[in-house]
Amino acid sequence: MIVVVDSGVWISALHFGGTPLAALEKALTEDRVAICDQIEQEVARVLSRKLGWEVRRVEESLGIYFQDLIRVPVPGTLHGACRDSKDDFILECALIAGASLIVSGDKDLLALASFQGVRVVSAADYVRGAR
């Protein structure tokens, strides 16, 4: 199964651990993870600018995690699908990748529950076995 892990889950997993890290590890070992430049850029920006990671640490960490992921181009043509339009790129990434699931902690995405056949679940639900 192809899964998109949204940037908030990536950030929480890498910086805080806990359930987001368990979800990320499950996705990386049991499923195929799809990512786009927008997710990668947001993760890098938040880790370095907001959470104080050194740029080198960000690059090394993300380089390790992102090397075997499915990379998809997201042209930004999807608009108004989510109540927070800044999250539309996550949905677009999932659709382009052919993902079955988005793992997210974002309330605006979780409120959708699904979008065009792609389910949206929390990290905790994913760890518990949501498919």
Strands 32-35 and 70-71: parallel
Q: What is the CATH number of the domain that holds 30?
A: 3.40.50.1010
C-beta of residue 71 within 8 angstroms of C-beta of residue 55 = no
Give the domain range for residue 58. Answer: 2-128
For the chain, the domain total comes to 1
pTM (2 decimals)?
0.93
Quote the pLDDT of residue 131: 66
Which residues, 6+ apart, have CB-to-CB distance to 56 below 8 Å? none
Per-residue pLDDT of the chain (131 residues; tens, 9 = 90+): 999 999 999 999 999 999 999 999 999 999 999 999 999 999 999 999 999 999 999 999 999 899 899 999 999 888 878 787 788 999 999 999 999 999 999 999 999 999 999 999 999 999 998 76
